[in-house]
Chain A
Amino acid sequence: MILNQFTNNTAIIGVFLTGKSLDAALVINSKIEKRFSKKIDTTASEESVLHEVISAIENVMVKDVMGIGIGVPSLVDVKNGVVYKVRSIPSWREVHLKDILEDRFGVQVFVNNDANCFAIGEKYFGKAQKYNDLVGLIIDEGLGAGIIFNGFLYSGANCGAGEFGSIPYREHDYEYYCSEGYFDEKYGVKANILLNRAKEGDKIALAIFEQFGYDLGNVIKTIMFAVDPEFLILGGSLSEAFPYFEKAMYEKVKTFTYKHALTNFKIAISEHENIGLLGAAALYFDANNKSFGSING
Chain B
Amino acid sequence: MKNREQNSTIIGVDLGGTNIRSGKIQNGEIVHESSIRVPENGQNKEAVIKAIKNTIADVYDQNVAAIGVGVPSLVNRHSGIVYDVQNIPSWKMVNLKEILENIFDVPVFIDNDANCFALGEKVYGKGRGYDDFVGITLGTGFGAGIIKNGRLMDDANCCSGEFGSVPYLDKTLEDYCSGKFFAQNFQKTGEEIYHLAMQGNKEALEALEQIGYHIANAIKIVLFTVDPKLIIFGGSVAKAHEFFKNTMINELKKFPYQHVIHKLQLEFSEIKHSAILGAGALCFNNIPQFAEI
Contact residues in A for B162 (Cβ distance below 8 Å): 224-226, 228, 257-258
Partner-contacting stretch, out of A15-23, A158-166, A182-190, A194-202? A158-166
In the complex, what distance in Å separates the CA atom of A223 from the CA atom of B257?
Answer: 21
**Residues of chain A in range 207-266 having any CB-CB distance to chain B below 8 Å:** 218, 221-230, 257-261, 264-265
**Residues of chain B in range 199-258 having any CB-CB distance to chain A below 8 Å:** 217, 221, 223-229, 256-257
Report yes or no: B74 in contact with A161, Cβ–Cβ below 8 A. Answer: no
Contact residues in A for B263 (Cβ distance below 8 Å): 157-158
In the complex, what distance in Å separates the CA atom of A197 from the CA atom of B229?
Answer: 46
| Number of residue pairs A-B, CB distance < 8 angstroms | 114
Decide yes or no whether A75 CB sits under 8 A from chain B: yes
Decide yes or no whether B83 CB sits under 8 A from chain A: yes
With A168-B168, A228-B162: A260-B226 Cβ-Cβ less than 8 Å: no
Contact residues in A for B156 (Cβ distance below 8 Å): 133, 228-230, 261, 264-265
Report yes or no: A260 in contact with B153, Cβ–Cβ below 8 A. Answer: no
Contact residues in B for A221 (Cβ distance below 8 Å): 167
With A225-B165, A226-B160: A160-B148 Cβ-Cβ less than 8 Å: no
In the complex, what distance in Å separates the CA atom of A75 from the CA atom of B227?
Answer: 13
With A228-B155, A258-B159: A157-B229 Cβ-Cβ less than 8 Å: yes
Contact residues in A for B163 (Cβ distance below 8 Å): 225-226
In the complex, what distance in Å separates the CA atom of A229 from the CA atom of B157?
Answer: 8
Decide yes or no whether B166 CB sits under 8 A from chain A: yes
In the complex, what distance in Å separates the CA atom of A164 from the CA atom of B225?
Answer: 6
With A167-B166, A227-B225: A157-B160 Cβ-Cβ less than 8 Å: no
In the complex, what distance in Å separates the CA atom of A259 from the CA atom of B74?
Answer: 10
**Residues of chain A in range 242-293 having any CB-CB distance to chain B below 8 Å:** 257-261, 264-265
Decide yes or no whether A149 CB sits under 8 A from chain B: yes
Decide yes or no whether B260 CB sits under 8 A from chain A: yes
B224 in complex: contacting residue of A167, A218, A229, A264, CB < 8 Å:
A167
**Residues of chain A in range 124-166 having any CB-CB distance to chain B below 8 Å:** 133, 149-150, 154-164, 166
With A161-B226, A161-B227, A168-B168: A133-B260 Cβ-Cβ less than 8 Å: no
In the complex, what distance in Å separates the CA atom of A117 from the CA atom of B154?
Answer: 22
Contact residues in A for B257 (Cβ distance below 8 Å): 75, 158, 160
Report yes or no: B161 in contact with A226, Cβ–Cβ below 8 A. Answer: yes
